[in-house]
Amino acid sequence: MFDRLEIRVLAPGPRFAAQVRFWVNGEDIVEEAVYEGGRGPYAADVLPTGRPSPLRATAEARRLELGEPDCTGGCCGFLTVVVQRFGEIVQWSDWEVPRPSPLAPDPYPPAELHFDASQYDAEVARAEADRWWQMHP
């Protein structure tokens, strides 16, 4: 059984521009990993205008930043994952997870995720095309 990805853009707020959150199997993985007050990447960075999103999966593995805690990633680390396509499967693996504090031990990373490539591609394309957040005051 494949995991299911949903990409949501949160409206800009007083502290941050519009940010992206990743829901996998009905759970917000950014909130789970970066704790309350953390944020996902800026929508303009992962859903750029005029070029493909870095979320697009290719045969070449690449590490993506998916979030950071309220104290910033420079303090406790970033939530990152390696994204790679294997034929009709997109895999998220080799997680790096921020610590709850600089002195805390490394947290246990999430399990590998495996997405049906057609569902994954369709969700990334949908998020790339939905530019509502650029119009938000």
Q: What is the pLDDT of residues 46-81, one digit of tens each?
A: 999 989 999 999 999 999 999 887 766 566 778 899
| Residue 136 confidence (pLDDT) above 70 | no
- pTM, entire model: 0.88
3-class state of residue 34 by DSSP: helix
Q: What is the pLDDT of residue 6?
A: 97
- DSSP H helices in the chain: 29-34, 43-46, 73-76, 117-129, 132-135
Instruction: Name all contacts of 60-63 with Cβ < 8 Å and 24+ positions apart.
Output: 60/84, 63/94
**3-state secondary structure at position 120:** helix
